[in-house]
Amino acid sequence: MLSTVGKLKVPMVIMHMRGTPETMQSMTQYDDVVVEVASALMKQSTAAEEAGIPRCLQILDPGIGFAKDLEQNLSLLKHSSVMRSLVEDIPLLLGPSRKGFIGKITGENAADQRDFGTLASCLSGLVDSDGNLTPTILRVHNVKGIVQGIRIMEAILKAE
């Protein structure tokens, strides 16, 4: 796939995941999930670069929910600004929308009822350690609701 994308010169999302959808939840052992995911993404980024995909066409996705347990997903969101610096400011994509970890925390079994938890997850992944909104791509189901929440957060952050 890398060589094809390299020839076409189109953007590419590179996602972190271990195993397959059937085996990934048995592969959640990390000493430091943020550092290890960033390192794995940078290795994939380098391979993409070697295949002719410049970093300006790469988007890195830490794979929220893919081979991560509840605490690891939360850690990736909480430390997204650390992740951003570890991946040398290559654009990040966060996809927490309606994920199982939200259901575990809230007790909401129906994925389509997890939009409020999705909003909180997105907001936490957007704010850096200084309280500033950071450039991040979000993959969500309820675009209108998330945009509304981000606009309110942005207004609050800009207030005196």
Annotated catalytic sites, by residue?
A: 99, 139
Helix or strand or coil: residue 121? helix
DSSP letters spanning 41-71 = HHHHHHHHHHTT--GGGEEEE--TTSS--HH
CB 133 within 8 A of CB 126: yes
